[in-house]
Structure 1
């Protein structure tokens, strides 16, 4: 196949060099690149139990995590049961602040009193020992669908479906993708049994649910390689065509062209709003938006979601400002582990705050606050140089609970242990050997400002969707002339720089969010020449249809 020199360079940096692998990467094939759902351990057992529950009209609850993986995953299974025509089903999403992450006994008790006999979890449950045992005591079978790290022992659940168990060929699916695998297997088995409710559903209908899988896969920051790349690639295709009223209303509100949606739109527009619902104590709004059946309901839900997101941004911004002040006072640039907390901080918001600090200084940042029940809970984020889940395991005695992935995690800590948490994590980090995810090069390729064009953008976009494991290429643009420099946004905390090429007169808009001109290695000033590190983005700001540069850094001319 024809591949430009630039694309070959970018592929080589990803370890993709032979022609067959290049072709597979650039041209995903759904059948070839996805795996049989029945290859997931205990899938057959789970499907048998669900079909039995449906036959006996049992009450089923979908118990989902409250983030932008669990909520889309719940929508996947809810839509599947709705398509089958099974109505004795409900969705339970725990309150982020009052209940927190996990499969809680109090919630199970409420469900038991309502006559629930089968619970299917989404994006939670792999370490839910107490919850699974309590459900069993109350006569409730639990089918866990999850993707979080597995420990030596497993909960006493009826079935646990997790790609990290058994011999499934790809271990890094997100929670919603595991839920979609369950939905696909359920539909296939129902057709095999010649059940009328299943045979009436067109073959391949489940692929229309991939819009939700793409949202979750990208939002949950699982590696966009292997099967995840395929699910995200085809999920974005579905997302651009979906008739789902909630997605269409969200695009209209955000002035996004649905037919041109990218992973950036999910990361920077969809996911923050879906997550904002639970961060502000109302996860059901996000779920109801994804499963809305008409535009009128969808528009009302989007309006409410926008209100929640505006409140979330204000609250996060306030904490970020205070946290950054404390970081500058207490830590040096050499410190790779940062721990900050305040009993006035809301734990639901702290993952975003940690992200902001990691994005600015790298390393690992843990933030803690006090929830509505008086418990100290927090979030950790890493730039990949330190594994969060490995760090937690080495400091396990300091936590009451913990869990997560390589790049992120959550924890609860006692009022006593919190005072020594920084020292414990700092010592644990020092014991961890070389990171399993290597830091990337400073940039991927050099291009002149005059070369920035839609043909170049389309060429680079052949590698999309971008994300963890397939990062968006960073370009070095040498000797760019700085025109105007301005801060924008309500709090003037975003930066925009106009660049021009002296030789050709070509200009470009460059920007970044939550950065000041002084944050760059070489603070931009009108009239100076600089080397610019940036990614290439499709710019729809103020209705434009052009290209722009998302700033990574501005440096002295080399």
Structure 2
């Protein structure tokens, strides 16, 4: 694997002199050249009226409210699904509903979304209306079952729509045909939030609040959940998503957040006043996801729903324990997977075009993380398989989780395999960078061969060359705590609006391992300034390197606080000998 560091292309900007020129350049590198493009006020959110399906859904909710029907929220077992479910539960109660419950399918028993298995369970209950969150657009069979039983269905989802839409009473999804909503990147929790906003506006227009002599509820108090789910689902932070995340962060920093979010941050010793968008992805998100991966996501949802901080702390501690268990499982699986890849490399002389790994005892809830780790290490599209169920023929069914590299659409690759080699894949779905599939165990070797053949027709040297984009070399006077704070305030940063990353050549004054796998550095720039640096999960086959005294480093700025001392620290993302 070759490595290519490239600097972002920038252009002239219309920002005032009040904005730091380096930050103006950073914005330009992300396609923003005018102050009007940096919107962070709640009033600048895209209008609810442009989201197709809202007008179909709100009369159904109005009828359900007047009759106090029983509503069941059907969620998903990831952080977006958990926050969507909690948000809908809280929001509907705030809007006056008294009979609201939720059901999140266990990934091992039901699979994804409103499946036929889950649908058959729900029709045995007294549910009048089902609202899906972060799922539903592909749940054709399950929705048919509940509809045939007389249960109404509102789908709220953000995943790509297929050729056939479900037979729901209302579908709210910006990625369905004919929807003019400008943000196609909104997360499932964002779509759920827009439905609540739309229903509140509908009740206002109907004179409901006036007739009841009550004040319309403030739904903004739940925007911390929207921000968390948006970042944790790794959707692109376009303008609308950045507003949602910024507003959520502002509430959290003010202490106006769910007790569960506060407790999950406390478990990682995160200062509430200094929380960043990356904390959603690397601190809270994994702990919530651990419940869905190893146990039952309902536990994570209860943590988000509770109003009692003491209870939230106990739940957060349990979620933290689950996450630690997930890490242990993942580490063992990853080491076994790397051994498989190393064997392939030794026998074939090079890493294959695509990596497929499988062990019979691997945990189905962790294969996606393992596939992602292998993809990062070897820079190859990767699929990790785990045993699922025994098929009708007595053969084992394998569930696969795929992760891809930029320039290769993994869902399209699976589609091509399915077309050219019919019968090898049972089912598949996903998008450009991640996908899921099922195959019969006896067809694993056949699938691997087909996967490799199709990949070789698409992979080029350019695609296999990893590019690291940076914002260039940082001026010497920017290595300050004040500039670090300006960078943080210029966000929120995240997927599609990458956190500022810089590169430069530094002299290594000192290097040592801490925590067995992290490289601690003391660095000097060409002006003689000294900095601490930390490279998490360093390549131990390369570092520490006593023969290297100069290195090309890709890094991000960070503020390190230790024993009352505050200084600038470099978070090293890549390091090579200069």
The TM-score with structure 2 as length reference comes to 0.87
Q: CA deviation at 1:119?
A: 0.8
Match of 1:368 among 378, 382, 385: 385
- Other-structure match for 2:403: 381
The residue that corresponds to 2:570 in the other structure is 549
Distance (whole Å) between structure 1 residues aligned to residue 554 and residue 295 of structure 2: 39
Task: Name the SS for the 1:348 alignment partner.
Answer: coil
Per the alignment, do residues 303 and 400 of structure 1 end up closer, same or farther by CA in structure 2, a change over 3 Å counting?
same
Q: What's the secondary structure of 1:425's corresponding residue?
A: helix
Name the counterpart of 1:155. 166
Partners of 1:246 and 1:302 within 8 A in 2: yes
Check conservation: 2:65, 2:96, Cα contact below 8 A: no
Structure 2 partner of 1:56: 67
Distance 1:428 1:234 in 2: 44
**Does structure 1 residue 7 correspond to structure 2 residue 23?**
yes
- Corresponding residue pairs, total: 546
Q: Does 2:535 correspond to 1:511?
A: yes
In 2, are the aligned partners of 1:482 and 1:527 still within 8 Å (CA)? no
Corresponding residue to 2:221 among 198, 208, 228: 208
Q: Does 1:139 align with 2:150?
A: yes
Q: Is the 8 A contact 2:136 2:155 kept in 1?
A: yes
Q: Distance in 2 between matches of 1:501 and 1:43?
A: 56
1:524–1:554: 8 Å Cα contact kept in structure 2? Answer: no
Q: Contact (CA 8 Å) 1:364, 1:382: kept in 2 or not? A: yes
Change (3 A) 1:375 1:196: farther
User: 2:554 — aligned with what?
Assistant: 533
State the SS of the aligned residue for 1:536. Answer: strand
State the match for 2:473 in structure 1. Answer: 446
1:410 to 416, 436, 458: 436
After TM superposition, the structure 1 = structure 2 runs for residues 480-519 of structure 1, keeping only pairs within 5 Å, are: 480-488=507-515, 492-501=516-525, 503-512=527-536, 514-519=537-542
Q: Report SS of the residue matched to 1:116.
A: coil
Structure 1: how far apart are the matches of 2:566 and 2:212? 45
SS in structure 2 of the partner of residue 310 of structure 1? helix
Match of 2:340 among 295, 306, 326: 326
2:487 aligned with 1:460, yes or no?
Answer: yes
Deviation at 1:249, TM superposition (A): 1.7
| Residues 204 and 216 in structure 2, CA contact (< 8 A), matched pair in contact too | no
User: Residues 482 and 76 from structure 1, CA distance in 2 versus in 1: closer, same or farther, beyond 3 angstroms?
Assistant: same
Contact 1:64 1:92 in 2 (8 A): yes
Aligned equivalents of 2:312 and 2:306: distance in 1? 6
* 1:297 maps to 2:311: yes
How far is 1:316 from its partner?
A: 0.8
CA shift, 1:448, in A, is: 6.1
CA offset at residue 204 of structure 1?
Answer: 7.0
1:384-443 per-residue CA deviation (whole Å, 9 max, x = no partner) reads 23123322332344432322232222222222433322333333334559999x975443
CA-CA distance at 1:313 after TM superposition:
1.1
- Does residue 479 in structure 1 map to residue 506 in structure 2? yes
What residue number does 2:6 align with? Answer: none
Which structure exhibits the higher relative contact order, with contacts defined as CA atoms closer than 8 Å and separated by 6 or more residues?
2
- 8 Å contact from structure 2 (residues 75, 113) kept in 1: no
SS of 1:347's equivalent in the other structure is coil
Unmatched segments (≥5 aa) in structure 1: none
CA distance in 2, matches of 1:419, 1:369: 14
- Deviation of residue 150 (structure 1)? 1.3
Offset of 1:30 from its aligned partner? 2.9
Contact 2:520 2:532 in 1 (8 A): no
The answer to whether the Cα contact below 8 Å between 1:375 and 1:412 also exists between their aligned partners in 2 is yes
Please, which of 265, 272, 276 is the counterpart of residue 251 of structure 1? 265
Cα RMSD (Å) of the superposition? 2.7
Structure 2 residue 252 is the aligned partner of structure 1 residue 239: yes
CA gap of 1:447–1:501, structure 2 versus 1, over 3 A, is same
Task: Tell me, yes or no, if the aligned pair for 2:75 and 2:82 is still in contact at 8 Å.
Answer: yes
SS in 2 for 1:358: helix
CA distance in 2, matches of 1:527, 1:77: 55
Within the candidate set 21, 28, 46, 2:40 is matched to 28
Q: Does 1:180 align with 2:193?
A: yes
